[in-house]
Amino acid sequence: MPAAAKTTEALRGPRVRHFSVFLPNQVGALLELAKSLAEVNVHICGLDVINVADSAVLRMVVDDPERCKDVLAQKNFAATESDAIAVELPRGPEKLAAVLSVLLTAEINIEFTYSLMVRPRGKAVLLLHVEDAEFACDVLAKAGVAVLGQADISR
């Protein structure tokens, strides 16, 4: 990671790149996207699919965001990208409530969330898209919650 990126991450907290891809609501659309990414060795690390009328929104985190961005543009997939927070959940189902309680106490609104398929250090990872990611990173870190960066989930 370049020195400037490390400095920026230290100032605003670790983040992961999150993509929202708009797909036609038809058989094979998700497979087409997955194959397009696999062809250039980009792996989907977490995903959530939401069907709306005649289309679908695929929310995803990948291990190589820059290459993913290139593929989405080359294949004409309509997409947006944003920063999100990935938190490591210690073992045990009660830990989710603990993380959510930290956010509630700080009055941080969660816009959406989904789990990742990768497990750095063997622990579950939850992606959070929140109103104020910088504040959320600070609050979570002070509460002892491990906030992961892109390097933690990328190969």
pLDDT in tens, 16-40: 999 999 998 888 999 999 999 999 9
Gap between the Cα atoms of 111 and 129, Å rounded:
6
Query: How big is the CA angle at 86 (ends 104 and 151), to the nearest 5 degrees?
Result: 155
Please indicate, yes or no, whether residues 67 and 107 belong to a single structural domain of this protein.
no
Model-level pTM greater than 0.85?
Answer: no
Segments forming the whole domain that contains residue 56: 16-82
Instruction: Say if 32 falls within a structural domain.
Output: yes
Cβ neighbours for 37, distance < 8 A, ≥ 6 positions apart: 43, 44, 62, 68, 71
Q: Dihedral through CA 75, CA 76, CA 80, CA 81, nearest 10?
A: 20
Domains: count for the chain: 2
Instruction: Supply the CATH number for residue 46's domain.
Output: 3.30.2130.10
2 belongs to a structural domain = no
Domain edge (last residue) among 82, 108, 123: 82
Lowest mean pLDDT among 20-24, 44-48, 88-92, 122-126: 88-92
Residues 124 and 87 in one domain: yes
Q: How far apart are the first and last CA of the chain?
A: 13
Residue 46's DSSP bridge partners are 61, 116
- Which position has the token pair 């490390």? 6
145 and 90 within one domain: yes
**Are residue 64 and residue 87 in the same domain, yes or no?**
no
- The model's pLDDT over 68-78, given as tens digits with 9 standing for 90+, comes to 999 999 999 99
In whole angstroms, what is the distance from residue 130 CA to residue 83 CA? 9
